Structure 1
């Protein structure tokens, strides 16, 4: 969507704060021995208490309120009472929700202590890639400047980009135009960023191959066993200067 007046921005900021606070609390709640279903229940209660609805659940009938992915599973992991979080794991949490017809989407990865140095570097580099992508997101600039900034950060850190996962438009639904914003530089992509446009930026940096693979459950996206990926995501509003980050808390 594109912002059409102050009311749109107020409502986007409201749902942005809700998903941002939910993600932050879930990350703080993670501890070895808990299941991903227990962690998802924390997220569900926070969303419900704020009057919001899980977007993947309401939009796509996803079997959980949030997406929680562990180790070589990188995205869209189904919360389960059979998946126990262990010390040293790499975990990704993605929270998206709707309130009053407005949607916001955010996510982050973390290493469960004791922290593997590789996971620490991967998460730090992915967070930096997100920040670089946001700095490149300005009204009037080519959309592919986002992917160029992200991929330069990944290359500098020695990591690859997951090329079949990307950012997207958001606002009035969970996934809108532009439907796919790559985290790599595509010189053939001539789309432009415009003022008021609402998008996510969500780079996936990886130690493995450049594509995610879907598991048999029809949801979970993975890399190869022994390989890892991290993701950080914000929902932003494009302006002529720095974007408005509605999911920042």
Structure 2
């Protein structure tokens, strides 16, 4: 989606705020003993209240309103009977549409205090997202995002999952430009003014790839290692990125 008029931007900001508020409410509900299904039901109810439609469910038939991944699961985790325990690393990804406009956000959270290495990984995961967002500006190369995030990861001794990418969004959950690398690449495409896209690096302490599990959805790091993901939907302008997935 490319924003060309104020009405489109207003609609994008509206759904962006909805998914951001849903993510925050789900994060606030994380506590020892809650199941991922119960957490998902909170998200589903909030989306329904706002007349928003779960994007993974409507687009791909995903068996949940949101994706919830715990510890060794790094993305696309199916909500179910799994109980969240103290010290678990929980990733929540919320994407939805309203009036034909889509937004996508996600973040990793600890259930209570995390081990120091995981706590640092979360802090640096948030920083990696901001490093990527800082490269979003009309006319700049898309590859600049991956180069900047890659340099950040290398400096701090991390790896990046290299088959989970950022993507265009707006009129669909995934649209042009597909496969926006958040690691160094040779992508020659440039960022158009008004382009709507996600920025979502997957930062790890050793993982390089995402492998699909037996359920056909859940992804795991290979080699096995902790992974965090932090994601915003942004709009490219001549002055930089406008983040639309902020709670409010």
TM-score range, shorter chain: over 0.9
> 1:220 & 1:78 partners in 2: Cα distance?
7
CA distance in 2, matches of 1:156, 1:178: 28
Moved segments of 4+, more than 2 Å: none
The match for 2:76 is 76
Q: State the 1:66 CA deviation.
A: 0.1
Quote how far apart the aligned CAs of 1:68 are.
Answer: 0.1
The structural deviation recorded for 1:115 is 1.6
Gaps of 5+ in 2: none
Tell me how far apart the structure 2 counterparts of residues 122 and 209 of structure 1 sit (CA, whole Å). Answer: 13
Q: Is the 8 A contact 2:121 2:228 kept in 1?
A: yes
Q: Who is 2:190 aligned against?
A: 192
How far apart are the structure 2 equivalents of 1:18 and 1:157?
A: 33
Indicate the SS of the match to 1:238.
Answer: strand
**CA shift for structure 1 position 208:** 2.5
1:1-249 alignment to 2 at 5 Å? Answer: 1-81=1-81, 83-186=82-185, 188-224=186-222, 227-249=225-247
TM-aligned CA deviation for residue 226 of structure 1: 5.6
Q: Distance in 1 between matches of 2:103 and 2:90?
A: 21
Alpha-carbon distance between aligned partners in 2 of 1:47 and 1:56, rounded to the nearest angstrom: 13
Evaluate the alpha carbon distance shift between residue 138 and residue 39 of structure 1 in structure 2; reply closer, same or farther with a 3 A threshold.
same
Deviation (angstroms), 1:114: 2.6
**Cα deviation digits, residues 102-146 of structure 1 (max 9, x gap):** 000000001212321111111111110100100011111111000
SS, match of residue 223 in structure 1 = strand
TM-score with structure 2 length normalisation?
0.97
Shift of 1:207: 1.5
Checking the alignment, whether the CA contact within 8 Å between 2:75 and 2:91 is kept in structure 1 is yes
2: CA distance, partners of 1:13 / 1:226: 37
Secondary structure, counterpart of 1:64 in structure 2? coil
Q: How many residues get paired?
A: 247
Q: What secondary structure does 1:62 align onto?
A: coil
